[in-house]
Amino acid sequence: MDRRMFFKKGIGATILAGSYLALGSRESLFAWGPQPRPALPFDLVAVRGGEPEVMFRKGIEALGGIKAFVKKGQRVVIKPNMGWDVPPERGGNTNPKLMVEIVKQCLDAGAKEVYVFDHTCDDWRRCYRNSGIESAVKDAGAKVAPAHTEGYYHDVTVPAGKVLKRAKEHELVLESDVFFNVPILKNHGSARLTASLKNLMGDVWDRRFWHGNDLHQCIADFGTYRKPTLNIVDAYYVMKRNGPRGVSVEDVVTVKAQLMSADMVAVDTASAKLFGIDPMDVPHIQMAADQKVGRMDLENLNIKRIAI
Amino acid sequence: MESLKKIRVVVSILFFLLLTFLFLDVGAILPALVSNILASVQVVPSLTKTLRLLTFTSLGLLVVLLLTLGFGRVYCSSICPLGTLQDIVIRIARRNRKRRWFRYKKAPFLLHYSLLAVTAVAFVGGSVLLLNLLEPFSNYGRVLTTLVHPVIVLANNAIAFVFERFGLYSVPTLSVRFVNAGAFLFPVVFLVVVIYLSYNYGRLFCNSLCPAGALLGLLSRVSLFRIVIDEETCTECKLCEKVCKARCIEADTKRLDFSACVSCFNCIDVCPSVGLKYESWWKEKAAPAVEVDQGRRTFMNAALASAMGAALPRMVSNDSLATRTPSFDESRRNPIVPPGAVSVEHFSSYCTACHLCVSVCPAQVLYPSFLEYGVAGVFQPKMDYSNGSCTYECNLCTQICPSGAILPVDVPDKKLIQIGKAAFVKEDCIVITKKKDCGACAEHCPTKAVKMVPYENKLMLPELNNDICVGCGSCEHPCPTTPRKAIYVVANPVHLVAKKPPVQKLEEKVEQKEEFPF
């Protein structure tokens, strides 16, 4: 190849790559819209008294089994809370046993791929490792994806948002067929409570904007963007104070509970009650309910309670 | 005898590759033991660390000094990464026919030893500036972390980008460290100078500017084994002089200046007879004494160094917790030095700015400075919380530092070292200015030195307890206020000990009143 040819080819390749990058806002490239949702027999399932994996088995069975949610060949993304460099017993991150069970069931149901990620607060490698989640779900067959640099996130609009109009969402969520939101229930210094609505803050890049522009409203706004296929709130270990990071195991009580619902507001309302605070004292839950993200009136919902 | 060169080449390539990898180990896969061995055999940092601790903690240094006393400057030929880098340049130069051979040139002893004397006096006087600027290991480290690391990052990210298109996430992306233009330019200039010198004059840097070379040259004058020309078997072919990159063999007079010899063994390898011998000194006559005429010069240099020490004070101001006025200038703050660094004074007196800590810091919070420590502490790293915060459970920098600037600290002890204190400017806080909840600072604080307490209208406001603050920057980094951070860390010029976070039992350990309270 002579020099002129080289330049021609080089320029061609550059234009090609450049246009891909320029047009490549993932929104346009990937199929994205409301996913078909199964009609569920219950609005909310609450399980209490078992190990995390046992409670999940009972709960998902009550909702019609994992196959009601995961179809053969689908791409599943599970978003736990693994944002902190603390071991499982500190209650800062989702229980790895629960994560493993979900991954296994998804793969058994024929999922093509199961991804796990979180935009961590502490150093991401240490969080992934010390939460116990990375090695556990990898062994179970899931892929663990990084989320520590801006490149993994793509612009999305939040049409129903009051304050949060735009966000950068992790590409895996954008590309997912099934999206499980699996937070751990805990105290939170400013959000009051971490459950399903708050956990979605780990999907986005610029959290500083949320903190600087009415945290509760932003959490509620992002709830309007996309509803996870199912929210599974891990309340096995519950951090009662010093959240979201906690200082020692003395901050944690063993509650042994799990809550599941497709409705983030309902599951967070129940979570607040389980935690022992009035849901009305958690501003973002109420704001989300006002924005029709879900329902706070548990008394009118069809709830399945399972004691093990 | 002929295999000496082969051994040297193999060992030097091994050290060169491993040391290069050490600085560019973006995946943190090199075991700690290997990193520590590699760092501990580096003469200058190991020496400063040993002098600092006043015990022989560095086995690596002992090994290198004994090797030199036994066999000459093997450090220069086999262990020093900058030495091997020069050898690579020399090899390239020799392939170019014009620069095929070397000729003897008397090494500039006066310059070299005067520089060593000034460097030593300055070091004793508390300034590592000259070590910092001339020391080979640190300079090599800076070249890698400043110039090569970004290339590795870009290459890695290109691979990660392609993988990502196929749904593969096994290669995580990395971030480039952006450094000050001055901190960027010096390694460039240094590299150009070293390449120029070695291309044209062989190992001239090692025999004129390098403090490690000078020091080891002193020792090699009395080393047990040394290379000598055997008058009887020498065929006067002068090949040895032509391949001597240290240019220390004068074939005409059959003299070899072993103090300038870097023990590369090229001469022995090339000698067609057995004209060169590597033998124990008691077999040969006592080496001619080197004329020492430096008394006056050394005195002058000492004076110069003291003057320098006075003229270039490190920037330690005493208003450690000065309240910030609206015109507060971020750059006016004392630099925050990492846990184990004892104090700004201590850190700046020992750090040769090799940037090994910068390259191992997982949070990329340790950053090369430029003039933040004053001219005397140029390039020494500092904590920069705009990039991240110090990982609470991490002590990697304290384990890797070869110079004793950051002393080794175990994780439990590290978690109680207070490198600075948080300062909170309520008037800048989102909760006050916007009347909305935020709490980013308290959320990330590992000790709960920043805690959210009830404020008006059900809002929560940060409250500080600096007794348990470690100064990690977990509050400052995520704080969303602009242009100034409402909460930020003010350096402790001398590190203090923080109190342990209080641990109280929860009153109600288990709440089982109702199984399902809804």
DSSP calls for B205-241: GGGTT-HHHHHHHHHHTT-SEEEEE-TTT-----HHH
Tokens 């933040």 -> residue: B372
> What's the number of domains chain A is made of?
1
What are the backbone dihedrals phi and psi of residue A178, each rounded to the nearest 5 degrees, phi first? -125, 130
**Does position B295 have pLDDT exceeding 70, yes or no?**
no
A250 contact B CB<8A: yes
The CA distance from A83 to A95, in Å, is: 12
Within-domain flag for A3: no
- B163-205, pLDDT tens digit by residue? 988 888 989 999 888 888 889 999 999 999 999 999 999 999 9
Q: Which residue has the higher pLDDT, B515 or B489?
A: B489
- Sign of the CA dihedral with B231 first, then B232, B237, and B242 last: negative
Within-domain flag for B185: yes
| Whether B167 and A113 lie within 8 Å, measured CB to CB | yes
Residue to test with chain B: of A211, A242, A281, A297, most B Cβ within 10 A: A211
**Does position B69 have pLDDT exceeding 80, yes or no?**
yes
Quick one: closest CA in B to A145, which residue?
A: B169
Residue type for A306, please? I
Within-domain flag for A24: no
Please name the residues between 78 and 107 in chain A that touch chain B, using a CB distance below 8 Å: 85
Chain A residues whose CB is inside 8 A of the B482 CB are 212
DSSP state of A34: P
Choosing from B255, B283, B311, the residue where a domain stops is B283
The CA distance from B490 to B425, in Å, is: 12
A143 contact B CB<8A: yes
Q: Say if residue A139 is exposed, middle or buried (CB neighbours under 10 Å; 0-12, 13-18, 19+).
A: exposed
Contact B443, B437 (CB under 8 A): no
Displacement of CA A27 from its chain's centroid (Å)? 19
Say which residues have a Cβ less than 8 Å from residue A97's Cβ, sequence separation at least 6.
Answer: A51, A52, A53, A136
Overall average pLDDT of the A38-59 stretch: 95
Within-domain flag for B350: no
Within-domain flag for A6: no
Within-domain flag for A273: yes
**Does position B16 have pLDDT exceeding 70, yes or no?**
yes
> What pLDDT is recorded for position A29?
39
No. of H helices and E strands in chain A?
12, 12
**Does position B118 have pLDDT exceeding 60, yes or no?**
yes
Residue to test with chain B: of A47, A215, A300, A305, most B Cβ within 10 A: A215
Contact A282, A268 (CB under 8 A): yes
Chain B residues whose CB is inside 8 A of the A212 CB are 430, 434, 438, 480-482
* Among the listed residues A121, A51, A184, the one whose alpha carbon sits nearest the alpha carbon of residue B392: A121
Within-domain flag for A283: yes
The DSSP secondary structure of B292-324, one letter per residue, reads ---HHHHHHHHHHHHHHHHHS-----S-TTPPP
> What pLDDT is recorded for position B405?
95
- Side-chain-side CA neighbours of B409 within 13 Å: the count stands at 22
The CA distance from B369 to B392, in Å, is: 22
**Does position A15 have pLDDT exceeding 70, yes or no?**
no
Chain A residues whose CB is inside 8 A of the B394 CB are 123, 126
DSSP H helical ranges for chain A? 3-23, 26-29, 52-62, 96-108, 124-130, 133-139, 171-174, 196-199, 207-212, 215-223, 264-275, 283-290
Q: What residues pair up with A170 in beta bridges, in sequence order?
A: A153
- B219-269, pLDDT tens digit by residue? 999 999 989 888 888 888 889 999 999 999 998 888 899 999 999 999 998
The CA distance from B125 to B266, in Å, is: 40
> What's the number of domains chain B is made of?
2
> What pLDDT is recorded for position A258?
98
**Does position B288 have pLDDT exceeding 60, yes or no?**
no
Within-domain flag for B401: no
Residue to test with chain A: of B163, B436, B475, most A Cβ within 10 A: B436
Among A99-113, B79-93, B287-301, the minimum mean pLDDT is found in B287-301
Closest approach of chain B CAs to the CA of A245, in angstroms?
7
B509 contact A CB<8A: yes
**If pLDDT is split at 50, 70 and 90, which confidence band does B503 have?**
confident
**If pLDDT is split at 50, 70 and 90, which confidence band does A137 have?**
very high
Q: Is the peptide bond before B483 cis (omega within 30 degrees of 0)?
A: yes
B487 contact A CB<8A: no
Chain A residues whose CB is inside 8 A of the B449 CB are none
Choosing from B222, B250, B283, the residue where a domain stops is B283
> What pLDDT is recorded for position A164?
96
User: What's chain B's Rg over C-alpha atoms?
Assistant: 28
Do the bridges between strand A113-116 and strand A75-80 make them parallel or antiparallel, or are there none, so unpaired?
A: parallel
Overall average pLDDT of the B406-410 stretch: 94
Helix, strand, coil abundance in chain A, percent, nearest 5: 40, 20, 35
Distances (CA, A) of B342 to B349, B406, B407, B441: 11, 7, 8, 26
Within-domain flag for B110: yes
**If pLDDT is split at 50, 70 and 90, which confidence band does A3 have?**
very low
Tokens 């090569």 -> residue: B148
Overall average pLDDT of the A249-272 stretch: 96
**If pLDDT is split at 50, 70 and 90, which confidence band does B57 have?**
low
**If pLDDT is split at 50, 70 and 90, which confidence band does B481 have?**
very high
Residue type for B202, please? G
Q: Which residue has the higher pLDDT, B54 or A61?
A: A61
> What pLDDT is recorded for position B226?
86
Please name the residues between 3 and 42 in chain A that touch chain B, using a CB distance below 8 Å: none
> What pLDDT is recorded for position A239?
96
Dihedral of the alpha carbons of A79, A84, A85, A86, in degrees to the nearest 10: -90
Q: What is the CATH number of the domain that holds A177?
A: 3.40.50
Contact A179, A34 (CB under 8 A): no
Among A48-52, B210-214, B504-508, the minimum mean pLDDT is found in B504-508
> What pLDDT is recorded for position B287?
43
> What pLDDT is recorded for position B511?
54
Say which residues have a Cβ less than 8 Å from residue A165's Cβ, sequence separation at least 6.
Answer: A157, A158
Please name the residues between 241 and 300 in chain B that touch chain A, using a CB distance below 8 Å: none
B434 contact A CB<8A: yes
**Does position B13 have pLDDT exceeding 90, yes or no?**
yes
* Among the listed residues B388, B385, B336, B381, the one whose alpha carbon sits nearest the alpha carbon of residue B356: B381
Number of other CB atoms surrounding residue B91 within 10 Å: 11
Percent of residues, chain A, with pLDDT higher than 70: 88
The CA distance from B381 to B377, in Å, is: 9
B359 phi-psi bin (left φ>0, alpha ψ -120 to 50, beta other): alpha
The CA distance from B131 to B351, in Å, is: 9
- Per the structure, the complete domain to which residue B117 belongs is given by 3-283
* Among the listed residues A208, A182, A141, A179, the one whose alpha carbon sits nearest the alpha carbon of residue A32: A179
Within-domain flag for A29: no
- B338-385, pLDDT tens digit by residue? 999 999 999 999 999 999 999 999 989 999 988 888 888 899 999 999
The CA distance from B171 to B162, in Å, is: 10
Dihedral of the alpha carbons of B242, B244, B248, B249, in degrees to the nearest 10: -50
Say which residues have a Cβ less than 8 Å from residue A72's Cβ, sequence separation at least 6.
Answer: A109, A110, A111
The CA distance from B401 to B36, in Å, is: 9
- Per the structure, the complete domain to which residue A238 belongs is given by 39-307
Number of other CB atoms surrounding residue A15 within 10 Å: 10
What are the backbone dihedrals phi and psi of residue B487, each rounded to the nearest 5 degrees, phi first? -130, 135
The CA distance from A243 to A282, in Å, is: 14
Within-domain flag for B148: yes
B436 contact A CB<8A: yes
Q: Which residue has the higher pLDDT, B157 or A13?
A: B157
| Whether A188 and B443 lie within 8 Å, measured CB to CB | yes
**Does position B323 have pLDDT exceeding 50, yes or no?**
no
Overall average pLDDT of the A92-105 stretch: 98
Percent of residues, chain B, with pLDDT higher than 90: 61
Contact A170, A239 (CB under 8 A): no
**If pLDDT is split at 50, 70 and 90, which confidence band does B317 have?**
very low
**If pLDDT is split at 50, 70 and 90, which confidence band does B325 have?**
very low
**Does position A28 have pLDDT exceeding 60, yes or no?**
no
Q: Which residue has the higher pLDDT, A182 or A3?
A: A182
Within-domain flag for B229: yes
A73 contact B CB<8A: no
> What pLDDT is recorded for position B273?
80
> What pLDDT is recorded for position A46?
97
Contact B453, B461 (CB under 8 A): yes
Mean pLDDT over all residues of chain B? Answer: 86
**If pLDDT is split at 50, 70 and 90, which confidence band does A31 have?**
very low
Mean pLDDT over all residues of chain A? Answer: 90
Among A56-65, A125-134, B261-270, the minimum mean pLDDT is found in B261-270
Within-domain flag for A17: no
> What pLDDT is recorded for position A157?
95
> What pLDDT is recorded for position B282?
57
Please name the residues between 159 and 218 in chain B that touch chain A, using a CB distance below 8 Å: 161, 164, 167, 169, 172-175
The CA distance from B334 to B373, in Å, is: 8
Q: What is the CATH number of the domain that holds B448?
A: 3.30.70.20
Displacement of CA A1 from its chain's centroid (Å)? 51
Overall average pLDDT of the B487-514 stretch: 82
The CA distance from B368 to B358, in Å, is: 7
B382-415 CB burial, b ≥16 within 10 A, e <16: bbbbebbbbbbebbbbbbbbbbbbbbbbeeeebb
Tokens 């891909």 -> residue: A20
Closest approach of chain A CAs to the CA of B57, in angstroms?
30
Q: What residues pair up with A182 in beta bridges, in sequence order?
A: A80
Q: Which residue has the higher pLDDT, B291 or B109?
A: B109
* Among the listed residues B228, B225, B237, the one whose alpha carbon sits nearest the alpha carbon of residue B271: B237
* Among the listed residues B459, B472, B464, the one whose alpha carbon sits nearest the alpha carbon of residue B442: B464
Distances (CA, A) of B267 to B229, B274, B276: 10, 11, 7
- A196-219, pLDDT tens digit by residue? 999 999 999 999 999 999 999 999
Choosing from B283, B312, B329, the residue where a domain stops is B283
A126 contact B CB<8A: yes
> What pLDDT is recorded for position A186?
96
- Closest in B388, B393, B518 to A270, CB measured: B518
Q: What residues pair up with B369 in beta bridges, in sequence order?
A: none
Chain A residues whose CB is inside 8 A of the B442 CB are 189-190
